[in-house]
Amino acid sequence: EIEKQNAEAGPSARQIELDALASQLTPLQLQMNEIPSDGHCLYRAVAAQLRDGRSYTEIRNMCATMLEAEEQEFSPFAELTEDVSTFAMYVDRVRNSSDWGGHLELRALHQALKRSIVVYSAVQPKLVLGEDDGGGDPIRLSYHLHYYSLGEHYNQVVAASDGEEVTKEKVQPGDG
C-alpha cells in the first residue's frame, strides 16, 4: 500500500534534485560521491577532494584561520545571532563546532587553498570561485537543498571514471 502511494505521489524533491544534478554532471563525465551528513559535510567534501590526507578538522581550522586573517573582508558577511554576536565568536564556531559551512566558508577556503572551487546545484547555475587561479584541478562539490530532511548538504563531485573515489552513490537519472 505504501509503495503504491509513493508511486502515485511521483518523485520526491530529493530525487528531482538528484536527477537535475545528474543531468549536469553526466555530460561532463562527473558523478556525485556521498559525504556523511553530520554538520561537517562541506569540510569533509573539501578534504576528500584534496586527496592529501587532511582531515575535515584541519580544513575547518584552515577556514577559521583565513576568516581571522581577512576579518575586514569576511566579517560584514558573517551571519551573527544572539548566540554568536561577534565575528570572533563566529570564527570560533567555524573552528570548533559542527555548524554547517556555507558561501562565506567556501570563499575563505578558496583563498586559503588557492584553488578554484566549483559548486554544482540543481536550482542555481554552477558557482565558480577563482576561475583563473591556476592552482591545480578545481575542488568540485554538489550543493543540495533536499538531500536530507535536515536541510542543506554538500557532497563531493568526482570523475565518473574514478571508481575508487565512489563510496556510496552514483547519481543516475531516475534512481529511486
Alpha-carbon dihedral of residues 143, 149, 151, 155, nearest 10 degrees?
-30
Q: What separation in angstroms does the CA of 72 have from each of 3, 6, 90, 130?
A: 54, 50, 14, 20
**Which active-site residues does the annotation give?**
38, 41, 153
Contacts 24+ apart (CB under 8 A), 161-169: 161/29, 165/33, 165/48, 166/31, 166/33, 167/33, 167/34, 168/33, 168/34, 169/32, 169/33, 169/34
Pairing mode, if any, of strands 127-129 and 139-148?
unpaired
